[in-house]
Homo-oligomer: A and B are copies of this chain.
Amino acid sequence: MPSRFRSNLVNSCTGYKSCNLLGTIAADGTENLAIFNSVIHIGSNPPLLGFVLRPLTVKRDSYENLKAQGYFTVNHVHEAILFSAHQTSAKYEGEISEFAQTGLTPEYMNDFSAPYVKESTIKIGCRYENEYNIKENGCLLVIGRIQQIYVPEEMQHKDGWVQLDKARTLACNGLDGYALPKLLSRLAYARPHQEPKVLPDAH
């Protein structure tokens, strides 16, 4: 199988992925922004997320910054910033910030020492926690501990759940496809020998 064909197939066959911008800052103050489709939920208590980093990619700046500074931000991509978000994956030479290159705006909030993306609707501030080397292919699973979460009030339900389609958050389909999901329903906790039930809208 040709390498590009294989990459497209294997990257798209596992289902939809999250679509986020990782914001970091270097010791010299240079801000970095990079699109990632590998951010995942790891656990709620303690609140942890993870993302997979390829052995050698343009995203190495993000990794070096978050290791050195200890902090990074995760910012949802929505339709209006899709082109700018995708453009952060271009390999810019030298010390040029992807914020400046793509027109996205760095934003510092509540003394958090990594830049958020002002244009994003849902944003998370994380402290670097640990990393695991996936020896099968040399990738790294980086674990971050969530320290700050920003969600507009009208997108969060009374029970804490965030309705992502209200933020028009995108999902990734493979390496380069972007899709807009629409909520079908929330389902009640499943119990044996009971029909599945749709949760009433508790917003």
Q: Which positions in A face B, CB cutoff 8 Å?
A: 1-20, 38-50, 52, 54, 74, 76, 79, 82-84, 86-93, 101, 122, 124, 129-130, 132, 134-137, 139, 141, 143, 145-146, 149, 151, 156-157, 159-165, 169-171, 173-192, 194-196, 199
Contact = CB atoms under 8 A, between A and B. Distances in A.
Contact of A82 (B20, B87, B129, B184): B184
A129 B137 CA distance: 12
Given A14-B20, A14-B124, A16-B171, 19 more contacts: A6-B45, A7-B44, A10-B47, A10-B149, A14-B18, A14-B40, A15-B18, A15-B39, A41-B52, A43-B54, A46-B136, A83-B196, A90-B191, A132-B141, A164-B179, A173-B186, A178-B184, A179-B182, A179-B183
A159 B192 contact: no
Nearest to A165: B179
Main secondary structure, interface of A, reads mixed
Contact of A192 (B54, B86, B101): B101
22 contacts: A3-B45, A6-B45, A8-B159, A9-B160, A10-B43, A11-B44, A12-B160, A14-B39, A14-B74, A15-B39, A16-B16, A16-B18, A16-B171, A43-B136, A86-B190, A86-B196, A90-B194, A136-B143, A171-B181, A179-B181, A179-B183, A181-B182
Contacts of A74: 14
7 tightest Cβ-Cβ pairs between the two chains A and B: A15-B18, A8-B160, A5-B160, A179-B181, A90-B190, A181-B181, A43-B137
A177 B186 contact: yes
